[in-house]
Structure 1
Amino acid sequence: MPAFAGTATDVVAFSQLQLDAWLAGLLLPFLRVLSLFGAAPILSHRSFPMRARIASAGAVSFAVAPFAGVPAGVSLASMAGLGLVAQQVVVGLALGFAARLLFSLFEIAGEFIGLQMGFSFAGFFDPHGGTESAVGSWLHTLAMMAFLALDGHLVLIDALVGSFKAVPIGPDPFAVIGLLRPDRLGGEVFRLALSLALPAVLLMLFVNLALGFVSRVAPQLSIFSVGFPVTMLAGLGALLIVAPQVEPAVTEALKLLLAPLG
């Protein structure tokens, strides 16, 4: 049998620059994705466990890392690297905040409708203040269900992947704010909320005018004992008119969010 004198082992060596580049190439996209998962609706819900959230963000960032456009020669231990870390956190949080801001339109519309129905009346006497309207909570829950039915959470992740092209990893951490324009989104939120609540508000206005006319024709009728059940029933009927408009409103809100990202 032939005798083997020995075997040679090959040693693979990595330089510190290579390790820094690999770490930055994976960690920078991970921070942007994780920041979105911490601020976006549905993805940041407390029913979504933290470990599953981190694992999902890691899986998405691992898929995005090859084309994330991380600058070459970046060291996370330098001031430039810390600036890039801050940029990724700002971009992820800005996208999540923009999505959450758009979904506040259903709470605003619910406040408009609930005030006319009398459901928001208890908030005027709350010593702590800031109570959420029951109608606003219902519309918000309905919008979240429509958001999931439309795969809105996947659309948000797709928008985040597109943000690496629209807002590349670079030295400007606030470029995403100029791109998303939160002031413009705020105006669009109020417009959508008003258009969503307008049919119900007009119906409730007509009911209140009718009750006022009845109180003038029949003063002996206790309008407070009769008016509240009537307005509540009319408001529930108005919600039947508003409910089919929730899904188109969610679709338009997503279009407003995705338009700046191309």
Structure 2
Amino acid sequence: MTETRTVTTESTTTTLLELRAVRAAYDAITVLHGVDLTVAAGRVLALLGPNGAGKTTALRVAAGIHPIASGELLLGGRVMSGAGPRDLARAGVCLIPEGRGVFPNLTVRDNLWMMTCTGRPRAEIEEIAFARFPILKRRAEQIAGTMSGGEQQMLALARGLATDPAVLLLDELSMGLAPLVVGQLYEEVAEIARRGVAVLIVEQFAAAALDIADRAAVLVRGRIAAQGDPDRLRDELAAHYLGSAP
């Protein structure tokens, strides 16, 4: 656990993302049953739970990709329920999906240049990306799909940061990566949060996420089973995953 994970500026008290009593379904099957979550500026919330708990659906709701059956999605205190992914992206929400979401047949530079759709010039996008992840500068002309999984995840994060997000949503950042690489990526995520971004991390494998999280929540069968201090939930996590927690 890092000593620097809690930011004590005034901005950290500002709730940027809130799911309020959110229910969501796929056809007739309800997946989220009245989920409440809040993420403040400069803070990291780790959303944990077993496979099939509804974690990715919660992220998709927050990004406007999946509709809300009932409840509310708020961004900066403004109700955004029903807004589409493009509108939420323009409002500052950035989703890094499971599987990294880079274009494997394009070079690293071409992947970055595609983010000029945000209105930022190429030079500025490259400056941000290469300052955050220097290895991407060395790989600029390399085909993205030939890089390691960790490097591709860095590229996905760099692309997301090009949008200058207020809210960053991360789905299974550690998927298929070595523990050392995961630790390095999460150090970058912690730094992103320290700059005032609200970060919501979905992870099945909890250790790295809990190390940088300010708060954690456990989602089980579409309901929040526990929420609070990461260190306390770390001790209780196995019981929640196995269904034996009270």
Same fold by TM (over 0.5)?
no
If you compute each CA radius of gyration, which structure gives the higher value, 1 or 2? 1
TM-score class, shorter-chain normalisation, is: under 0.3
Q: Which has the higher helix share?
A: 1
- TM-score of the aligned structures, taking structure 1 as reference length: 0.21
Q: Which has the higher strand share?
A: 2
- TM-score of the aligned structures, taking structure 2 as reference length: 0.22
